[in-house]
Structure 1
Amino acid sequence: METNKLTNDPGASHVPPQQIGSEMNAVEKIELSSEAEAVHFFNIVKERLLDVNRWRQLAGGVMSDFFLTDGAGNPVQRKATGGDHIRIDIPGPGSLAGEGYDWVTIEEIKSEMLDDAEVLSMTARPSANPLGDSKDTAHFLTDQATSTFQVKRIGHTIYAEEHGRNEVPNTDTDLSLDNVRNTFVGWGAKIGFSYPQWKALVEGLLNNNRKPDKL
């Protein structure tokens, strides 16, 4: 464990290293009037992060639709856990391999407590369609890519972040139509078309003016 690195940037070690393709970072923060208020609101923010089915609502409806499923691809109405999948309905033509959707698996959910900071991170990776027989990655990016969704509290400041790493378009599948589709969607993501939706999500996670969430 790199103690100094974690102290200077809590949660940094939760984000996979950038090695290939492109990366993206969407970051938002909010400062509360006291640490006690920040601790209370951070509990709400953590619940929001794990409530994948509400992501579109939290983002103000300006992003793709996200649906939480269990490991077998069955829709579930609960908070996310490791091993779950997320079925994504992005604007435009869907993936044939994903039966109209893009799929990721939630590889890991990590929480960490430090002296005056706490972090919750969820890392997702493109995956095969759990409802199909094919082992091909059903996503416009290869399974080298990851998205780490992270919320953290440092004192009375709360951060919400999305860190995309190793983003390479998935253009070597057995389905030529998917290869073409993934080229265009991946190219759009690479030049920043996906940034606005992640920015809207991290802003929504920290929206302190909305009707109180039920914990």
Structure 2
Amino acid sequence: MEAKENYNPIPEQRKGSEIDAVESRTFGTMTEAADFFATACRRLLNINDWGNIAGMSSFRLFDQHGAEVSRSGQEGDYIRIDIPGPGPRSGDGFDWVKIEEIAHVTDGEEELISIRVRPSAKPLAEEDSTAHFLKADATSTFIVRRKQVVVSAEEHGRNEMANTDTESIIDNGRNMLVGGAAKLGLSYPQWKLLVQGIMAPE
């Protein structure tokens, strides 16, 4: 755990669209809030269970060598996302993101753990082509935060633009459709379900 003053893991919004999904619970005591914060953090880091929590897309965790793993997420890992419908050829039918930062920060009466991911090529791909419907400028930041007796789970998407610059005309068309749907807010329900699931009572 690292102490940082006024730490904000969410990148600045510069272009494209953005999304924010937040779910909060208030507890009666600091002890109850701290206990649930620990539970919510475990749920956040258990990426292989996100699909069960959200009830929509499937998420699987892979290490830097492309091997599927059953553990908490770590910086440098990849997440394979299977969303409804056809996936990009460059990702063998799946969308891929890479975990570029995991932070656990405390600042006085507030503490948080965050995971920031970015669209990427699939692990060990021969071509460094982003296998995702969004361009690599986009990020998703997942946060579990406790401020005194209030615990929240959050997802913040920033700089989201459809990835239509691939070498595949089919992928470009698919990414335009899926990325356009995300821009219209159709990805919000999935992230709202995920943060609600992270905050569900034990």
Do they fold alike, i.e. is TM over 0.5? yes
Structure 2 runs not aligned, ≥5 long: none
**1:2 Cα deviation from its structure 2 partner:** 9.0
Q: Tell me the residue number matched to 1:66.
A: 59
Could you say which residue in structure 2 is the equivalent of 1:213? none
Match of 2:194, SS state, is helix
Give the drift of 1:126. Answer: 0.2
Q: TM-score, normalised on structure 2?
A: 0.96
Aligned to 1:96: 89
| 1:114-161 superposed Cα distances (whole Å, 9 cap, x missing partner) | 211111010000001114311110000000000000010000110100
**Distance (Å, rounded) in 1 between the aligned partners of 2:53 and 2:172:** 32
CA distance in 2 between counterparts of 1:188 and 1:131 reads: 29
Q: Provide the rounded CA distance (Å) in 1 between the counterparts of 2:171 and 2:124.
A: 17
Give structure 1 regions of 4+ aligned residues with deviation exceeding 2 angstroms: none
Report the equivalent of 1:176: 169
Partner Cα distance (1:179, 1:58) in 2 = 30
Write the distance in 1 (CA, Å) between the matches of 2:157 and 2:75: 18
Q: In the alignment, is the contact (CA less than 8 A) between 2:4 and 2:105 conserved in 1?
A: no
2:189 corresponding residue in structure 1: 196
Shift of 1:44: 0.7
Are 2:21 and 1:26 equivalent residues in the alignment?
yes
Q: Which of 34, 50, 53 lines up with 2:48 in the alignment?
A: 53
**Shift of residue 73 of structure 1?**
1.9
Whichever residue aligns with residue 199 of structure 2, its letter is L
Equivalent residues, number = 200
User: What is the Cα-based RMSD across aligned positions, in Å?
Assistant: 1.3
CA drift of 1:192 comes to 0.7
Unaligned runs of 5+ in 1: 211-215
Report Cα offsets for 1:72-120 as digits up to 9, x if no partner.
2210000000000000000011110000000000000011112111110
Match of 1:147 in 2: 140
Q: Which amino acid aligns with 2:157?
A: G
Instruction: Indicate the residue corresponding to 2:76 in structure 1.
Output: 83
The residue aligned with 1:135 is 128
